[in-house]
Amino acid sequence: MHNNQRSTNFLKQVRCAVLDTSNSINDEEISTYMRQTTYNFLRNNYSHYKFKIYEGKSVDRILYDIRKDPGEEDISLVVIQAYGNLLYDTWKPLEHGYSLFREYCNNEWIDMAEANKFFIMGHILDERESKDRWFRLHEQCFVINYKMWKQLNYPKFGGYETDPIEVREAIRSKENIHDEHTPTYLSPGTETITITKRGFGWNFINESLKSGLAVLNFDEIARQTKTYLYPEIKEEQAEFKQFFREDCANFKPSESKLGQTKKEFLEYQSYTVQRSPEAIWVMNTESVNDVIFVPRKYPLKNLYSVAAGFKTFAFLNNWNRDTVVEDVNINYFDISPQSLKAREWMHKEWNPQNFDEYLDYLYEEWYQPDKALISIYEDFDFLSPNWQAEREQAKEAYKNSILRIFDTMEDWYDMHEKVKNNNITYTVANLCRNYQPLIDMIQPHEEGKDSVVWSSNYITTRYTTWIMSYEERRDIYQEVVKKMHEKNPNIRLHSADWDGTPTKGMSLEEITNAYKLDEKTFLQWRQRRN
């Protein structure tokens, strides 16, 4: 087993919550869509299946509910987001990836919280001149030192209030994150002052200063792990709604009057909606060694796999020791015909000892004529002015990907050669719209043999979560499971469901029976199972 995987995003010290800001958005359609989008990005980033995601209309309500969490004693950090805040993950080589959790919550911020080096951090706003209001936090995203909140005897968060009150003097930094109203920190002064108009989070700011701790603003790198879509801006709401779902493909920034943040996001989403059905994923963005969680009692007979990265070979390399890999039927299915064709070339034509050959093929066959979206890792550039350095980085990423599966590159070369003449099929199947081609390829159970379907996280990608609602994704996922179960209830499914919850190779029989449970019992079952 190789240890160089991404760090987990579900440390017991961290809890996440979503702040219901529908009242300030004041548009039901936008509120619903922004809530869904915030949850979708969070589930992909935080691994929803491990710990509950809390939600409430106030910070005080959220913190009250967290006090009843079964693991409450372990909690150090609470990350709260408003509707419309999105936490990004990346598909960079795993050594260079970043997220709010991996680089901050799971490392730096937990240590800082447990050493009581901060109480509250987020987006600080200085509104003393513009709105005759004291310092406040922006609702979009902030982090609370939960243990310190308990030590301070559970203070109230503080909202928009106007009665006179004494607070600790705040000494703001001379520097700003941007403009003139975003100090990088607030230091505690020695005096108390009386303020009247107060805003979001004012009392947590005051409690931090009273405790002798600076209030911290997210730094530039932390801000790069997220974005906020400002759904509450009334003047932009009508136009914003025009680009929900598949209509996002029609977005043209040059014709838009939306703010820059929305423009940049919709431009990227437009590209995603247009090009995802024709993508070629060269590297895996998920763990490749989680196949060890799949029960592998019998030799593998049928492998049904999406055409992405090298994880297909992790199943072949890590299955029951009696598996004869040359006898395994490998059945690829994918939404992208381009990905299937690239996969066929990889099996039939490619010498895996020459990754430059793969890069040349991708460029000449797919990138240059613009016939597919090529995803090697984020920021990879076929047109880099330093092409040799770009190639070397890509080759290093390739090597690292392979060595997460095999002990040596030679083992990989040997596996590639072994399966060259296997029975391999390539089938276009859109599991969100037309899943029947996958159902048709499913073979009946063969006694003493295992079969597995690996469908990755197709139902929770940035593409599917933008074009389909939560309920739609849940229903279609369960329908696909039901239809596969009718063909072969013994097949093991390795996937992420509509919540991002891993199925870990459970049999379709077990999964189908679980879906028949009432919601409460089902959630309890899923928690136990994972």
Residue 419 has pLDDT above 50, yes or no: yes
Residue 48: per-residue pLDDT: 43
Q: Are residues 356 and 488 in the same domain?
A: yes
d(CA 34, CA 41): 11
The reply to whether 55 and 168 lie within a common domain is yes
Weakest mean pLDDT among 75-84, 93-102, 231-240:
93-102
Task: Answer yes or no: do 318 and 205 share one domain.
Answer: no
Whether pLDDT at 1 is above 60: no
Tens-place pLDDT, residues 45-84: 655 446 888 999 999 999 999 999 999 999 999 999 999 9
Cβ count near 194 (within 10 Å):
8
Mean of the pLDDT values across residues 255-271? 93
User: Which strand (E) or helix (H) includes residue 501?
Assistant: none
95-109, 126-140, 170-184, 237-251: least confident range: 95-109
Range 7-17 average pLDDT? 74
Give yes or no for residue 127 having a pLDDT over 50.
yes
Answer yes or no: is 271 within a domain: no
Average pLDDT over residues 26-42: 92
Q: Tell me: do 295 and 218 sit in the same domain.
A: no
Task: State yes or no: pLDDT of 6 exceeds 90.
Answer: no
508: closest CA among 523, 495, 522?
A: 495
% of residues, the chain, pLDDT over 70: 94
Residue 312 pLDDT > 50: yes
Q: Are residues 392 and 310 in the same domain?
A: yes
H/E stretch holding 151 reads helix 146-151
Q: Among 188, 212, 227, give the residue marking a domain's end.
A: 227
Residue 249 pLDDT exceeds 80: yes
Closest CA to 85 of 138, 127, 126: 138
Averaged pLDDT, 434-447: 96
Q: Indicate whether 91 pLDDT > 60.
A: no
User: Does pLDDT of 19 surpass 50?
Assistant: yes
Secondary structure in 3-state letters for 264-301: HHHHHHHHHHHHHHHEEECCCCCCCCHHHHCCCCCCEE
Measured CA to CA, the distance from residue 407 to residue 314 in angstroms comes to 11
In this structure, are 308 and 389 located in the same domain? yes
The CA distance from 232 to 237, in Å, is 8
Q: pLDDT value at position 90?
A: 54
| 238 domain residue, yes or no | no
In a domain, 447, yes or no: yes
* Average per-residue pLDDT for the chain: 91
**Burial letters 244-272, b for 16+ CB under 10 A, else e:** beeebeebeeeebebeeebbebbeebbeb
Does residue 487 share a domain with residue 428?
A: yes
Q: Based on the domain organization, do 201 and 316 belong to the same domain?
A: no
Instruction: Note whether 286 and 180 are same-domain residues.
Output: no
Q: At what angle do helices 311-318 and 409-418 cross, to 10 degrees?
A: 90
258 assigned to some structural domain: no
Structural domain contains residue 173: yes
Q: Which amino acid is at 66?
A: I
Q: Quick one: 92 and 192 in the same domain?
A: yes
Are 190 and 293 members of one domain? no
Residue 271 has pLDDT above 60, yes or no: yes
Residue 250 lies in a domain: no
Q: Considering the domain boundaries, does residue 4 fall inside one?
A: no
The tally of CA atoms less than 13 A away on the side-chain side of residue 239 is 15
How confident is residue 275, by pLDDT bands cut at 50, 70 and 90? very high
Place of tokens 């460029």: 363
pLDDT tens, residue by residue, 517-527 = 998 898 888 87
Asked which of 212, 227, 242 is the last residue of a domain, the reply is 227
Residue 52 lies in a domain: yes
pLDDT at residue 94, as a whole number: 40
Its domain, for residue 218, covers 14-227
Query: How many distinct structural domains can be found in the chain?
Result: 2
Check whether residue 338 and residue 468 sit in a common domain: yes
Specify the range with the lowest mean pLDDT, choosing from 138-142, 300-304, 457-461: 457-461
H or E element: which one contains 452?
strand 450-456
Q: How confident is the model at residue 511 (pLDDT cuts 50, 70, 90)?
A: very high
With a cut of 60, say whether residue 483 has pLDDT above it: yes
What's the confidence (pLDDT) of residue 530?
A: 66
For residue 143, give both structure tokens.
């982090």
CA dihedral sign, ordered 222, 227, 231, 233: positive
Confidence check: pLDDT of 255 > 60: yes
Question: What pLDDT score was predicted for residue 108?
Answer: 86
Kindly tell me if the per-residue pLDDT of 495 is higher than 90. Answer: yes
Last residue of a domain, one of 208, 227, 246: 227
Quote the pLDDT of residue 217.
95
Give one word for 379, left, alpha or beta, with left for phi > 0 and alpha for psi -120 to 50.
left
Q: What's the CA gap between 214 and 230, in Å, rounded?
A: 27
CA 222 to chain centre: 16
Tokens of 459: 């139902």
